[in-house]
């Protein structure tokens, strides 16, 4: 398998002949929509193990690496060559060794059965979002939809400090973490629910925890882990994407990578939302920033515990950006449908190493940032290169053929 970037004049039939692959495979592997028009800059999964190529004039190792998504070192070693000869046939080998890793997927309660079924075999666990913890230590009346009651797919109990009408609340966690009685009530309620629903893990997603509550939060994690050990269950904790222990801001200060990393079984690092609903237009998950976060995490957390977040969505901003205005969220499929509708070129940011496109509608300029086959591949390869525990998708709200195809190519799914 390799990732091909569409050029001017490309079509499905042309690529089918060039790469000796059935047109139907190109269409289904990339979820192309009839009449299967391709956009310049669009990236496609080409699912072949080997490719024979006749060297042309002006070819260089660098140009072949860029166009055919294969490292120069691999071209040289497979073909036992140190230079290119015009007219010579060389081979590109795309076979990969499977990486045994943990793949989690978050979902909302309204996830359709059809969408879930498209992800089932690519997941280790599914994490329905979320039980809301209350200031008195009780949990909201969370009902798992029948479509998520799948005994073949282990479920994670997710708890979050979310207000009744939405939004994370520092006050809810402050109240719980600093009252021993309420904390004990909450922990007992969690254990009861885990037993009742037969959850495999607990996931704690407490965000915007006050800096002054940092030690109380760690104490809660310690107490929670002790209770989970008694019933042979594991614990994962969501962490904001940090690049140092001194990172300032409400998102970061109470998330102590080193201390929490010693307690929890898994740390799901939320490596997305650099570009967010009310923020300035930018990539949701820029690769250089993700690399920096994983690099720091590995210095203080056992690498097998680190689970890297993967976004399954994009944002559409109006331009010029005005502070306080909201971007529209859209699925990866919706992003590509919009690009096709507007007949625009897909560009790739050199700063973020992710795709984006511009369009104009009703005399208003827009920019859309999202992820594609190439940026997903690079994120997955980063996880494998760093030898971390796996990845976690936020969220399974819409099917993503590109992402599941890549997971299938690279991962041997770790089962529970």
pLDDT confidence of residue 146 = 61
pLDDT confidence of residue 34 = 87
pLDDT confidence of residue 373 = 97
Look up 381 and say whether it is catalytic: no
Catalytic residue among 57, 67, 88, 207, which?
207
| Distance between CA atoms of residues 269 and 256, nearest Å | 12
DSSP 319-335: ES--TTPPPEEE-HHHH
| Distance between CA atoms of residues 145 and 176, nearest Å | 28
Q: Are 222 and 264 in contact (CB under 8 A)?
A: no
pLDDT confidence of residue 151 = 66
Q: Which residues does residue 52 pair with via DSSP β-bridges, in sequence order?
A: 91
Q: Are 365 and 348 in contact (CB under 8 A)?
A: no
* Angle value at C-alpha 143, between 271 and 267, nearest 5 degrees: 25
Using the 8-state DSSP alphabet, how is residue 362 labeled?
A: T
pLDDT confidence of residue 351 = 94
From first to last of its 416 residues, the chain has per-residue pLDDT tens of 999 999 999 999 999 999 999 999 999 999 998 899 999 999 999 999 999 999 999 999 999 999 999 999 999 999 999 999 999 999 999 998 999 999 999 999 889 888 999 999 999 999 999 999 999 999 997 777 666 766 678 999 999 999 988 899 999 999 999 999 999 999 999 999 999 999 999 999 999 999 999 999 999 999 999 999 999 999 999 999 999 999 999 999 999 999 999 999 999 999 999 999 999 999 999 999 999 999 999 999 999 999 999 999 999 999 999 999 999 999 999 999 999 999 999 999 999 999 999 999 999 999 999 999 999 999 999 999 999 999 999 999 999 999 999 999 999 999 87
DSSP 116-145: HHHHGGG-SEEEEE-EEB-TTS-B------
């Amino acid at each position: 398998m390799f990732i091909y970037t569409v050029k001017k004049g490309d079509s499905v039939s042309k690529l089918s002949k060039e790469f000796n692959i059935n047109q139907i495979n190109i269409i289904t592997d990339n979820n192309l929509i009839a009449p299967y028009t391709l956009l310049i800059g669009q990236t496609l999964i080409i699912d072949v193990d080997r490719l024979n190529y006749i060297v042309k004039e002006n070819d260089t190792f660098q140009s072949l690496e860029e166009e055919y998504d294969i490292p120069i070192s691999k071209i040289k070693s497979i073909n036992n060559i140190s230079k290119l000869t015009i007219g010579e046939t060389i081979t590109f080998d795309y076979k990969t060794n499977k990486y045994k890793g943990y793949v989690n997927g978050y979902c909302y309660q309204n996830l359709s059965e059809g969408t879930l079924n498209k992800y089932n075999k690519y997941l280790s666990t599914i994490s329905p979002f979320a039980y809301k913890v209350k200031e008195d230590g009780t949990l909201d009346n969370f009902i798992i939809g029948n479509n998520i009651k799948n005994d073949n797919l282990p479920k994670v109990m997710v708890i979050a400090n979310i207000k009744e009408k939405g939004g994370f609340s520092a006050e809810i966690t402050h109240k719980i973490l600093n009252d021993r009685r309420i904390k004990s009530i909450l922990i007992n309620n969690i254990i009861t629910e885990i037993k009742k629903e037969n959850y495999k893990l607990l996931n704690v997603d407490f965000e915007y925890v006050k800096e002054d509550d940092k030690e109380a939060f760690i104490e809660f994690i310690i107490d929670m882990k002790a209770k989970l050990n008694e019933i042979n269950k594991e614990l994962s904790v969501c962490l904001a994407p940090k690049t140092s222990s001194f990172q300032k801001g409400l998102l970061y200060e109470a998330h102590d990578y080193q201390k929490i990393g010693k307690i929890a079984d898994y740390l799901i690092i939320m490596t997305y939302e650099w570009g967010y609903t009310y923020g300035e237009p930018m990539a949701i998950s820029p690769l250089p920033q993700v690399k920096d976060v994983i690099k720091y995490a590995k210095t203080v957390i056992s690498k097998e515990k680190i689970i890297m977040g993967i976004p399954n969505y994009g944002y559409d901003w109006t331009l010029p950006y005005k502070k306080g205005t909201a971007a529209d969220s859209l699925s990866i499929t919706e992003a590509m449908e919009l690009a096709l509708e507007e007949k625009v070129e897909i560009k790739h940011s050199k700063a973020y190493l992710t795709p984006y496109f511009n369009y104009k509608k009703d005399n208003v300029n827009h920019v859309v940032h999202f992820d594609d086959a190439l940026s997903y591949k690079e994120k997955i390869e980063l996880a494998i290169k760093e030898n971390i525990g796996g990845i976690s998708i936020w969220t399974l709200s819409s099917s993503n053929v590109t992402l599941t195809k890549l997971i299938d190519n690279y991962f041997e799914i770790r089962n529970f």
